[in-house]
């Protein structure tokens, strides 16, 4: 849905690598430190000279958390691609994701690559030029905070890229102004090869450590990157980057514990409080409302939507409504799993059964009780909570369990279960607790864009799909290990001959 001209231009520019040619005597710019952040970049650095411009740059980067990747595609790739939902809406590019048969020309494959690299470009601009701003109105504290926020954004973008596509080009500098004079010099740098997964994760950790040291300690306004968010993402990165057998669980525990032990955060009394709005769905139309509990103590990071003219939430319309068949139809596998567990609180907060008779039919559900994913219940003003405290609690439970503290893990899991009105977990040994935490994560975060990536980090995606109890099982049975990554977009391969396609595509 981006302008095609912008897409083609960015497709050419996104592969810009380090400007090492002019700074061979400097420390490598893959090393993010206070020292190398103080270097300007020639004539391009004069573009940004004021505190106001620095604030505009960081605000522009924050706005990318409202892109189509975060409002739509993250949920399709994580819930519809897994066992929580199926495509619903019948567009082939979405059905390919649902049925685990992606091809490199799929529109979602290319647009998500583009959205994420666009966000990286904004972060790189900040990290390249803001250090040289000498305006006294930009205090050192605020400058460092902005740089920390930008470093975090770059990290979370690469974390998504490496989990989706695997080895990708790692671009760590703003692209300089290109002229006829430097074209021959710059042109070869426009088309780099992919970096290794190990190098990408090393950079993610460096960026997050820098962010953790420089961003705000806390903010009551949750559309703000804070130390808690940096610690939470560090815990998730450490739980993911080395694979199931080599996970550094001590580091996962270290960072998750910082969030869980921060008394400024806590669970809301009722699970439904996280997603509640004042008015229900009426005549199939979502209301135009705020969350009842915006910026709550449970929220670690949420996108602040306020109006169509500034930043508007259209995501709800993609999943709920009667004007067309929506994305992410909840699966019987998920609905039945909730019911078997007796988890009616989270089931009914996650899935809305609604009468769509006369609108459309569905192979697997009756029109009189058609299910919607129900975590986003209003439009325009409704904030979307992207990260919340239970994620840190369950990561800490994972770490405690793997470090031999299964009883502590049970205590953490029971915090989540108690809020959902469930009895304590019966898992008492490590192997049972692993599955209990995995299931708890599924029930807690259904339709919040987590399932596919969570199962992959556990090494359990293919097994879970093959154990699915409805029609999606056939996709899991046909699935190969190579399909755990998406293909590199064909449009990028056409632009850059140094890119290599992922195996199996």
pLDDT in tens, 417-454: 999 999 999 999 999 999 999 999 999 999 999 999 99
Tokens describing residue 164: 């989706």
What does the alpha-carbon distance between residue 113 and residue 294 come to, in Å, rounded to a whole number? 30
What does the alpha-carbon distance between residue 350 and residue 346 come to, in Å, rounded to a whole number? 6
What does the alpha-carbon distance between residue 478 and residue 134 come to, in Å, rounded to a whole number? 59
- Percent of the chain at pLDDT exceeding 70: 90
Is 495:11 a contact under the CB 8 Å cutoff?
A: yes
- Listed in sequence order, the residues at least 6 apart from 462 whose beta carbon sits closer than 8 Å to its beta carbon are 476, 479, 481, 484
- Following DSSP, what letter does each residue of 320-359 receive, concatenated? S-SSSPPEEEEPHHHHHHHHHHT-HHHHHHHEEEE--TTT
- Domains, in order of start, for the chain: 1-19+33-200+481-505 (1.25.40.390), 216-471 (1.25.40.390)
Q: 157-208: per-residue pLDDT in tens?
A: 999 999 999 999 999 988 777 788 877 767 666 788 999 999 999 999 999 9
Answer positive or negative: Cα dihedral of 486, 487, 489, 493. Answer: positive
Nearest to 447 by CA among 26, 77, 62, 154: 77
**Burial of residue 289, with CB atoms counted within 10 A of its CB: 0-12 exposed, 13-18 middle, 19 or more buried:** middle
Tokens describing residue 452: 């596919």
C-alpha separations of 379 from 71, 84, 287 in Å = 11, 23, 6
- Percent of the chain at pLDDT exceeding 90: 87
Q: How far is CA 4 from the centre of its chain?
A: 24
- Listed in sequence order, the residues at least 6 apart from 352 whose beta carbon sits closer than 8 Å to its beta carbon are 281, 320, 371, 372, 374
pLDDT band at 101 (very low <50, low <70, confident <90, very high): very high
Its pTM surpasses 0.75 = yes
Average pLDDT over residues 241-250: 97
What does the alpha-carbon distance between residue 62 and residue 65 come to, in Å, rounded to a whole number? 6
Q: 308-342: per-residue pLDDT in tens?
A: 999 999 999 999 999 999 999 999 999 999 999 99
């Amino acid at each position: 849905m981006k302008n095609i001209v912008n897409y083609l231009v960015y497709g050419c520019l996104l592969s810009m690598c380090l400007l090492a040619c002019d700074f061979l005597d400097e420390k490598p710019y893959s090393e993010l430190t206070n020292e190398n952040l103080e270097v300007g970049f020639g004539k391009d650095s004069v573009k940004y000279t004021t505190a106001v411009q620095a604030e505009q740059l960081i605000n522009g980067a924050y706005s990318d958390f409202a892109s189509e990747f975060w409002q739509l595609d993250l949920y399709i790739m994580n819930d519809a691609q897994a066992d929580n939902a199926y495509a619903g809406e019948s567009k082939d590019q979405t059905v390919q994701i649902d049925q685990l048969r992606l091809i490199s020309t799929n529109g979602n494959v290319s647009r998500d690559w583009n959205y994420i690299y666009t966000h990286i470009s904004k972060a790189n601009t900040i990290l390249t030029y803001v250090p040289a701003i000498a305006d006294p109105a930009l205090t050192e504290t605020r400058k460092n905070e902005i740089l920390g926020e930008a470093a975090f954004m770059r990290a979370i973008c690469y974390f998504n890229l490496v989990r989706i596509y695997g080895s990708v080009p790692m671009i760590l500098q703003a692209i300089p102004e290109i002229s006829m004079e430097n074209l021959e010099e710059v042109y070869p740098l426009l088309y780099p090869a992919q970096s290794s997964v190990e190098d990408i994760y090393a950079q993610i950790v460096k960026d997050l450590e820098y962010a953790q040291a420089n961003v705000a300690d806390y903010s009551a306004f949750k559309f703000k990157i804070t130390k808690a968010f940096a610690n939470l993402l560090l815990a998730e990165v450490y739980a993911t980057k080395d694979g199931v057998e080599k996970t550094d669980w001590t580091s996962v525990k270290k960072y998750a514990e910082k969030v869980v032990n921060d008394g400024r955060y806590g669970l809301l009394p009722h699970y439904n409080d996280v997603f509640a709005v004042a008015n229900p769905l009426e005549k199939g139309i979502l209301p135009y409302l705020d969350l009842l509990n915006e910026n709550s103590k449970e929220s670690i990071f949420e996108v602040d939507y306020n109006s169509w003219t500034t930043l508007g939430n259209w995501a709800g319309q993609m999943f709920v409504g009667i004007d067309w068949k929506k994305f992410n139809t909840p699966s019987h596998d998920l609905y039945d799993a909730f019911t078997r567990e007796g988890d009616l609180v989270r089931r009914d907060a996650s899935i809305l059964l609604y009468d769509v008779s006369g609108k459309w039919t569905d192979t697997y559900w009756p029109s009189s009780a058609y299910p919607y994913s129900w975590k986003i219940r209003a439009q325009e003003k409704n904030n979307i909570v992207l990260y919340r405290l239970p994620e840190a609690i369950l990561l800490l439970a994972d770490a405690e369990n793997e470090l031999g503290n299964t009883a502590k893990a049970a205590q953490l899991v029971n915090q989540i279960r108690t809020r959902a009105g469930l009895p304590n977990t019966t898992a008492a040994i490590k192997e049972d607790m692993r599955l209990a935490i995995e299931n708890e994560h599924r029930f807690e975060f259904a339709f919040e864009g987590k399932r596919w990536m969570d199962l992959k980090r556990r090494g359990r995606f293919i097994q879970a799909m093959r154990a699915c109890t409805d029609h999606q099982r056939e996709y899991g049975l046909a699935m190969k290990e190579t399909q755990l990554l998406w293909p590199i977009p064909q449009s990028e391969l056409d632009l850059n001959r140094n890119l290599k396609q992922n195996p199996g595509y």
